[in-house]
């Protein structure tokens, strides 16, 4: 208990030169908490040491004030991971938009007439031309697109959705919940595995406004199952003066060997409204891209909710730069597509190059693995790939996985071995990876 009296005054602790060059407001708040904590520890019979306390304060200060977002090497082979920030950008694209961010720009300024312009115009003409739609709108993410559409057209009215499509996407997006937030009434039809056109037809009544089709982004119903195509839904809606809306989820355009219907394909006979994410297979930044009939998009623009879902100029710049790459067929500068289209011989070559450089301490060996699109895209589609399995004698795979994770390399465990999948490892990460592995080896060898 005598120790309690030994704790110096806060001001005195703060004067220690180890705290020079720190932000005093943050430092003081940390110190108050630490002192309270130390008091409790002393009351519980623990001993106290001033130097230890001061070092703890400094450590906490450093951890709080440093950048918590760190660059990660994604060696999992899962290309789109919401936990790892979904799509990444090519450096050329970032360099291109840099001057537009360090200077003013004409985001909402019409240079021709010298008056207020429209922030959405920057992208809409490009989107309209590319996808052959009447109009377009960008919001914060696809969840916002769903919310805005349902709220604008179906508040207090019914939205018909197949039971097989009431999807939950990671990150707490659930169609029934979004429907509730939008004030729309969900009208479920069909069964989990089967819905036919008559199910929709029979559900139509004077309260119906929208028939919504949601892409089964992250699962597939196999076996005895059927769903109604968006074209049939469009036809049914036209006959009944309803709005046909397709929540496409991922928004695949081109460049990957897969069975996913492309947006270009879907837009040959476009639904009245469709929406998709900017940072899934489209390969750009977080956004919700809405395409559709002009009179409907105009109504979306009138909804005051849009002001709360408005996108920043960075979003617009990144989406535009990505779209330009689709237009010029420069897929190599859309890393999401680039990674998902790497061919197997290229991956093998990269695996061999890396494997030859990894120390035998890790028992590296080239193995065949399956990569995934991830992020609620292309469920059940695997992409054959090559990886390198690592194994240190006497050390569990889970421990090596943890050590690598602490060094900012995220891996998967495959057949009880830590595996580096080449598909998601970027060229400029190879040398970093090798030096991380060398450091791990040295640290282990020194401990032995
Ligand atoms: C991913 C997804 C969403 C949510 O999109 P975010 O851009 O993550 O908000 C909505 N619907 C479907 C079908 C999806 O796949």
pLDDT tens column, 405-435: 999 999 999 999 999 999 999 999 999 999 9
Cβ of 141 below 6 Å from ligand 1 = yes
Cβ of 369 below 6 Å from ligand 1 = no
pLDDT at residue 222 is higher than 80: no
Cβ of 214 below 6 Å from ligand 1 = yes
Q: Are 89 and 318 in contact (CB under 8 A)?
A: yes
> What pLDDT, on a 0 to 100 scale, did the predictor assign at position 366?
98
Give nearest CA residue, ligand 1 atom 6. Answer: 142
pLDDT at residue 379 is higher than 90: no
The Cα 441–Cα 56 span in angstroms is 29
Cα(147) to ligand 1 centroid in Å equals: 11
Cβ of 401 below 6 Å from ligand 1 = no
In the chain, % of residues over pLDDT 90: 83
Which residue out of 274, 376, 377 has the highest number of ligand 1 atoms within 8 Å of its CB and is therefore the one to mutate? 376
Give nearest CA residue, ligand 1 atom 15. Answer: 249
Architecture of the domain defined by 91-333: 3-Layer(aba) Sandwich (3.40)
Cβ of 377 below 6 Å from ligand 1 = no
Among 268, 325, 271, residue whose Cα is nearest residue 293: 271
pLDDT tens column, 69-100: 999 999 999 999 989 999 999 999 999 999 99
User: How large is the average pLDDT for residues 165-179?
Assistant: 80
Taking CA 136 as the corner, what is the angle to CA 132 and CA 139, rounded to the nearest 5 degrees?
A: 145
User: 378: phi > 0 → left, psi -120 to 50 → alpha, else beta; which?
Assistant: left
Fold agreement (73-81+337-447, 91-333): no
Q: Are 149 and 275 in contact (CB under 8 A)?
A: yes
Cβ of 284 below 6 Å from ligand 1 = no
Cα(44) to ligand 1 centroid in Å equals: 50
Cβ of 152 below 6 Å from ligand 1 = no
Cα(250) to ligand 1 centroid in Å equals: 7
427 contacts: CB under 8 Å, gap ≥ 6? none
Q: Does residue 292 or residue 167 have the better pLDDT?
A: 292
Give nearest CA residue, ligand 1 atom 13. Answer: 249
168-169 vs 243-249, strand pairing mode: unpaired
| Extents of the domains making up the chain | 2-65, 73-81+337-447, 91-333
Q: Which atom of ligand 1 is nearest to the CA of 146?
A: 10
Cβ of 227 below 6 Å from ligand 1 = no
pLDDT at residue 218 is higher than 70: no
> What pLDDT, on a 0 to 100 scale, did the predictor assign at position 3?
76
pLDDT at residue 443 is higher than 80: yes
The Cα 121–Cα 128 span in angstroms is 11
Q: Is the dihedral of CA 97, 99, 100, 106 positive or negative?
A: negative
pLDDT at residue 193 is higher than 90: no
Name which CATH class applies to 73-81+337-447.
alpha beta
Q: Are 242 and 262 in contact (CB under 8 A)?
A: no
The Cα 273–Cα 85 span in angstroms is 27
pLDDT confidence of 444, banded at 50, 70, 90?
confident
Q: Which two structure tokens, joined as six digits, stand for 99? A: 């001057």
250 contacts: CB under 8 Å, gap ≥ 6? 215, 217, 260, 276, 277, 280, 281, 282, 375, 376, 377, 378
Cβ of 374 below 6 Å from ligand 1 = no
Which residue out of 247, 263, 277, 289 has the highest number of ligand 1 atoms within 8 Å of its CB and is therefore the one to mutate? 277
Query: Taking all residues of the chain, what is their mean pLDDT, rounded to a whole number?
Result: 93
Q: Does residue 224 or residue 341 have the better pLDDT?
A: 341
Cα(279) to ligand 1 centroid in Å equals: 10
Cα(267) to ligand 1 centroid in Å equals: 19
pLDDT at residue 1 is higher than 90: no
Determine which of 120-129, 135-144, 232-241, 316-325 has the lowest per-residue pLDDT on average.
120-129
């Amino acid at each position: 208990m005598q120790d309690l009296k030994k704790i110096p005054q806060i001001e005195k602790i703060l004067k220690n030169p180890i705290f020079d060059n720190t932000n005093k407001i943050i430092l003081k708040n940390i110190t108050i908490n630490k002192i309270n904590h130390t008091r409790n520890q002393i009351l519980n019979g623990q001993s106290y040491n001033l130097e230890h306390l001061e070092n703890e304060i400094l450590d906490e200060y450093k951890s709080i004030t440093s950048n918590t977002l760190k660059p990660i090497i994604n060696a999992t082979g899962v290309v789109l991971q919401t936990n790892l920030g979904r799509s990444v950008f090519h450096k050329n694209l970032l360099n291109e938009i840099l001057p537009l961010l360090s200077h003013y720009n004409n985001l909402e300024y019409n240079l021709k007439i010298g008056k207020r312009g429209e922030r959405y115009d920057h992208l809409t003409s490009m989107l309209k031309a590319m996808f052959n739609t009447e109009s377009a709108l960008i919001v914060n993410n696809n969840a916002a697109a769903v919310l805005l559409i349902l709220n604008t057209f179906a508040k207090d009215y019914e939205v018909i959705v197949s039971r097989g499509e009431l999807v939950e996407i990671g990150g707490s997006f659930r169609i029934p919940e979004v429907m509730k937030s939008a004030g729309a009434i969900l009208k479920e039809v069909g069964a989990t595995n089967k819905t036919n056109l008559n199910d929709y037809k029979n559900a139509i009544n004077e309260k119906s406004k929208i028939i919504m089709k949601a892409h089964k982004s992250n699962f597939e119903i196999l076996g005895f199952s059927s769903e109604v195509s968006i074209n049939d839904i469009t036809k049914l809606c036209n006959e009944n003066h309803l709005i046909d809306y397709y929540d496409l989820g991922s928004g695949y355009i081109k460049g990957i060997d897969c069975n996913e219907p492309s947006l270009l394909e879907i837009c040959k006979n476009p639904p009245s409204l469709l929406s998709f994410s900017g940072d899934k297979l489209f390969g750009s930044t977080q956004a919700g891209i809405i395409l559709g009939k002009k009179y409907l998009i105009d109504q979306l623009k009138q909804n005051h909710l849009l002001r709360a879902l408005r996108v920043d100029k960075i979003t617009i710049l990144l989406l535009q730069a990505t779209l330009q790459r689709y237009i010029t067929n420069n897929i190599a500068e859309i890393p999401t597509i680039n990674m998902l289209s790497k061919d197997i011989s290229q991956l093998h070559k990269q695996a061999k190059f890396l494997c030859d450089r990894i120390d035998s301490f890790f028992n590296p060996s080239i193995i065949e693995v399956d990569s995934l699109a991830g992020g609620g895209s292309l469920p059940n589609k695997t992409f054959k790939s090559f990886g390198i399995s690592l194994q240190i004698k006497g050390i569990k795979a889970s421990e090596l996985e943890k050590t690598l994770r602490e060094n900012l390399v995220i891996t998967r465990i495959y057949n009880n071995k830590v595996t580096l999948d080449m598909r998601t490892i970027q060229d400029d990460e190879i040398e970093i990876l090798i030096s991380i592995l060398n450091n791990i080896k040295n640290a282990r060898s020194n401990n032995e």
